[in-house]
Amino acid sequence: MDVDPDASATYSLNFPEAQSLVGDIRKKSVKQRLLHAAAQGDVVVGGPPCQAFSQVRNHARLIDDPRNSLYREFVKAVREVVPRAFVMENVPGLEQMGVKEQVLEDLRLGGMYRVEAQVLDAADFGIPQTRRRIVFIGIHDSLDRDPPQLRGTGATQAITLARRNGIRPVHYDIEAGGDEWLTRLADPLDPALVTAEQAISDLVALCAGRREDELPTAELPEPLSAYQAAMRDAAGDSIGNTSVPRINEDTVLRLRGIPAGGNHRDLPGELLHRYLTGQRWGQDAGNGVLSRRHYYAYRRLFPGMWSWTLNTKADSVYHYESPRALSVREFARLQSFPDRFRFTTDVRKGELPGRIDGGAAHSRYRQVGNAVPPLLARAIAAALAPVIARACD
């Protein structure tokens, strides 16, 4: 279920056989529908926001803070449904802010569940994007099994992107703890380590300002990596979400001054002026230079490395070759959504309960950016499957 009608529309489009619930779980009627639907489930999965990290300072309980009402509802749902297992995903800040032990205690439900937490990086599981998340896995004590430990490649600890600023212009190189890592990273047939180029190079012909949101698969080149072949499997006659945002002239100039893998730190002084071509855009602070809030936007992918962490905005990363933003489809590729998966919005226009302002295009980027990468979800499910299968024997 989801409170956002646009996200629910996307789910219903891609999983027409499933039951999709839209609404706020804090409302009694919505909660009853959810608990009824979940009553026969083996696993409860959720990612409730947990905002009140600072409560640790005054010794209040995390679950009692009113800002964490959705987290509290997740714990209540587990208590009422009593699944064989559950999975709760969240940001790793939970661990950094010292509340992990509180969460573990809450989720154990007085000893009903055995619970462990793991910090996972999506890039260690064949996803072309670094994305760290903390995952809590609980197993009902009656199964007499401890939660499974997920084992990725460990590549994110062994491979880094290093900035070089010497005789040559600023550029970026890959550093690795052994040649075998570099060999694997460069191998387009290795599905466990995937780079940005291996993920989206077959879509390089998309251009800034492209309005068409469909691309016939017949117009695509042959897959250039095992990952591309897997993403395009069963896509049909066309792939969707291929429109590309327009880009202003100032941004084009800045991107041409940033090497692949770089960001605003690599801009020469003359490209830090607020306006370069006279074209006016955004709010002007009046000091003639870019404000700090713009800096995150000027980040270019490095073709031979996985992507930065995507957020909910189209300008969170730019293409490694062309001076442009990415399409929603390229966002989806970097998140490991297959091409057959389409992102859409509720057909109703205007304000709707749970809908976030910004328009349909922004909604699609936000849906991708907020998602758990499917390949990471599959890895978690694969680890849980033997536990659940044994309980069902």
HSE-CB at 365 with a 13 A cutoff on CA atoms is 19
Strand partners, 129: 307
As a dihedral over the C-alpha atoms of residue 242, residue 246, residue 250, residue 252, rounded to 10 degrees, the angle is 30
What are the Cα distances from residue 49, in Å, to 46, 72, 89?
10, 10, 9
Is 90:133 a contact under the CB 8 Å cutoff?
yes
Residues recorded for the chain? 393
Residue written as token pair 């890039």: 123
Selection from 32, 380, 69, 7 nearest residue 20 by Cα: 7
Strands 113-121 and 132-140: antiparallel
* Of 1, 7, 50, 88, catalytic: 50
Instruction: Reply yes or no on whether 50 is catalytic.
Output: yes
The C-alpha R_g of the chain, in whole angstroms, comes to: 22
Which residue is it, tokens 């001054």?
Answer: 257
Q: How far is CA 87 from CA 70, 78, 94, 320, in A?
A: 15, 10, 15, 35
Strands 43-46 and 85-90: parallel
The set of catalytic residues is: 50
